Chains A and B, each alone.
Chain A
Amino acid sequence: MLQINNITVVRNDTVLLQNINLLLPHGGKAVITGPSGSGKSSLLAVINGTLSPLAGQVFCNGIEVKPENLSKLRQFLAMIEQEPVLAAEKVDEALLLPFNFRLNSQLPKPDRKELENVLTEFDLPVHILNQLCSELSGGEKQRIAVARIKLLHRQVILADEATSALDDRYCEEVLNYLLTPELTVLAVSHDPRLIERFPVILKVKDHTLQQCGDRI
C-alpha cells in the first residue's frame, strides 16, 4: 500500500510538484508520465526517503516515510533505476550483496539453485554468475538488478524508467515481474510498452498529477 498526502516537492528552490495525493492499494500499479525535469524522479526520491518533501506525508504499508523509519521502510520497499548500479565486482556477488546487510539478515541467503532459477526467469544464462559486472550490457545489468530485488521479496517497487533501455523481449520479462499481482508498483516512465500495460496512468501537468485513463 502506498499513500501520498498533500506532498509538495521542491528541488533547488523550485517547486516541482504541489499538493500531490495518491492512493495505491496493495497490489496496485500506477505509472507517472510527463516532461523530464517535472519532478517525477524527485517524487520517487521523497517516497524512498532520500529527499525530504517541503510539505505532506507519505505512508508505505502504513509506515510513515521519515528519517527514523527508513530502515523499517526498506525492508519492503525497493527501487529500480534506469541505469542500475550493481555495486559489486562479479554477478553472483551483486545478487548476494544485500544479504550482507544487517537489515536483510532475517532473510534466508539464496543458494546456488535459487540464484540459477531467478536468472532463468529473467532469461539470463546461468554462467553469467561468474562474469564481471563491468562486462555486462545495459540490458543484462537491468535484469540482474531486478532479479536481485526479486530475491529480496520486496513488496512495494518504485520503478524509474525501468524498461526504457531494454529490448522488447527483456522489457517483457521486467514488465511481467512488475505486474505480479502482489506487488504494489509506482513507475515513472516514457516507455509506451510499460504505459499501455499499467492500469493507472498519471500525468504531471501544472505541478500536479492528473489521471489520464483509468482502465481498472
Chain B
Amino acid sequence: MTELSWLGMGLIYIILIIPIILNRILGLKISRNLLQTVIHMSLQLILIGYYLEVLFRLNNVWLNIGWLLVMMLIANITTLKRAHLGIARMLPGQFIAIGISFLTVLFYFLLVALRLSPWYDAAYLVTIGGMLLGGIMRGNVVALERFYSALQQRNREFMAMQLLGATPKEACKPFFVESMQAALMPHLANMATVGIVSLPGMMTGQMISGGSPLIAIRYQVAIMVTMFVAMELSSFLSIKFSIRKAFDERGNLKTDL
C-alpha cells in the first residue's frame, strides 16, 4: 500500500495555482474564497482525522453514540438552514424524522447485514453512519426546499383545493409527491451509473488501502440501497412532521416559516 504523506498532501495545494491564474485571466473573483474554503476544509478534516483516531482507539460505546447524536444534530440544523425553515419551530420534528429513518436503516445495515461486533464499533458506526446521514441531508434539503417553495409559488392552487373541500393535508399531496420525486431522482440516477462513470469515494478508499474490489462493491451495493431507503423514509417523515407546524388554523401557509 502506498501512503499519501503529509508532504504529499502539501504538494497537492501547489496545483491550485492553475485555477488561481485562470481566475485572474477570466476576472473570476473566487480565488480568495477558494483559498479560504480550502484552508477551512483542510483544518476541519485534520481536526476530524485526529478526533476519529482517538474515537477509534477508545471505541467507547457512549462516546460513539454521543458522536452519532452530534452528527444528527448538525445534519438537522444544516438541512433546516438550507431549506430556509425556522430552526426553533421545526427542529424537534425534524430530529425525530431523521432519527427514525437514519437509525433504523443504519442498524439494519450494521446488525443484520454486516453482523458487526461489537455493535458500536466506531470504524463502522461513524463512517457508514456519516455516509447515510450525508445522503439523508441531501435528500431532505431538496424535499423540504421544493415542498415549501412550491407551496409558496403555487399558493393559489393550494388554496383553491381547500376551497373545493380539501383539508390542508389533502391539498398538500401533489406538492408532497413532486418534492419527494425531486429528492429521490438524483440518487436513483446515481445508482444507475455507479462504477461506470465514477467510482464512489468509499469504494476508492477501500481499494487504495488494499481492500479487494469484490469486498468494496459489496459495501457499495449495501450503501447505495440503504441510502435510498433512508432518503425516502426521511424525506417522507420530514415533510409529514413539518406540515403540522406549517399552516395556521385557517389553512394558510404561515409566512414566517
Residues of chain A having any CB pair with chain B under 8 Å:
48-52, 67-68, 70-71, 74-75, 77-79, 81, 83-85, 87, 97-98, 100-104, 148, 152
Contacts and interface: CB of A to CB of B under 8 A. Distances in A.
B249 interface: yes
Given A50-B159, A87-B157, A87-B160, A98 B165 contact: yes
Contacts of A148: 164
Interface of B: 156-157, 159-167, 170, 174, 249-252
B166 A103 contact: yes
B205 to A, nearest CB: 45
Interface centre among A52, A87, A100, by most chain B C-beta atoms within 10 angstroms, is A87
B173 to A, nearest CB: 9
B249 A67 contact: yes
B250 A78 contact: no
Contacts of A75: 165
Contacts of A100: 170
A84 B164 contact: no
Contact of A52 (B157, B163, B165, B250): B250
21 contacts: A48-B163, A50-B162, A50-B163, A50-B252, A51-B250, A74-B164, A74-B165, A75-B165, A77-B163, A78-B164, A79-B163, A84-B160, A85-B157, A85-B160, A87-B174, A97-B164, A101-B161, A102-B167, A102-B170, A104-B164, A104-B165
A49 B163 CA distance: 9
Interface centre among A67, A71, A79, A101, by most chain B C-beta atoms within 10 angstroms, is A101
B189 to A, nearest CB: 24
- Ranked 9 nearest A-B pairs via Cβ: A103-B165, A67-B249, A98-B164, A85-B160, A101-B165, A101-B166, A79-B163, A87-B157, A85-B157
